[in-house]
Amino acid sequence: MGKAKKTRKFAEVKRMINPKDMRLKQNQKKAQDKEEEKTKQLVKHVERESSAMFFKYNTALGPPYHVIVDTNFINFSLQNKLELVQAMMDCLYAKCTPCITDCVMAELEKLGPKYRIALRVARDPRFERLPCSHKGTYADDCIVQRIMQHKCYIVATCDRDLKRRIRKVPGVPIMFIVNHKYAIERLPDAYGAPKQVMHGK
């Protein structure tokens, strides 16, 4: 008896799609579009440098200083028995106008009767009121957004997270409380400013 012919099974044969096939072109186009979308997402909006900035110095800053006051700064000032306007003038040796945003006022109102003295201080007629146009009452975001738009403010805060965020914005000094008095950070040749230590000399 002769050998039976082995027939090649259909499934064993590897079938290749023609490289000029239209289906392949469609897949390649989809993959290309996906890559383009990814690169678009990677490119973020780069902020333009403010015209008030001259090297690292902010030329928009000058007396009378406008100081944006944070919620906790008012509370800590009361704890340290500091009169806000007078203590600011003692720190900066110039006329100061404390500014308070609608968000900070809303936060103080939310804190209730425990902080009624802080609220009374915030309602002082010497304080300049800054209206807010955004939704919500989260003051930190509002302050950061405001100082990025206008470089003419000093921010008075004792909040560590807010300080960290403000330090990323060039040319905006920070006022804080140390040793029962106000000190200023990042204001050129300012009283109370931490002195830079020169290494290697």
Helix (H, G, I), strand (E, B) or coil at 151: coil
Provide the CA 61 distance to its chain's centre, in angstroms.
19
d(CA 187, CA 177): 15
Question: Please, how many CA atoms are within 13 Å of residue 40, restricted to the half-sphere of its CB?
Answer: 6
Q: What contacts 111, CB < 8 A, 6 or more positions away? A: 71, 118, 119
Encoded amino acid at 61, one letter: L
CA max distance for the chain? 118
Please give the pLDDT value at position 199. Answer: 45
Looking up tokens 């028995």 gives 81
d(CA 65, CA 128): 12
Structure tokens at 69: 């006051």
Task: Reply yes or no on whether the pLDDT at 195 is more than 80.
Answer: no
Instruction: Indicate the pLDDT class of residue 77, thresholds 50, 70 and 90.
Output: very high
Encoded amino acid at 142, one letter: C
Task: Reply yes or no on whether the pLDDT at 14 is more than 90.
Answer: no
pLDDT, tens digit, 9 for 90 and up, residues 127-170: 999 888 777 768 888 898 888 888 889 999 998 999 998 888 88
What letter does residue 168 receive in the DSSP assignment? T
Q: Which domains does the chain have, with CATH numbers?
A: 67-185 (3.40.50.1010)
pTM given for the model:
0.65
Average pLDDT over residues 41-56: 60
Instruction: Indicate the pLDDT class of residue 47, thresholds 50, 70 and 90.
Output: low
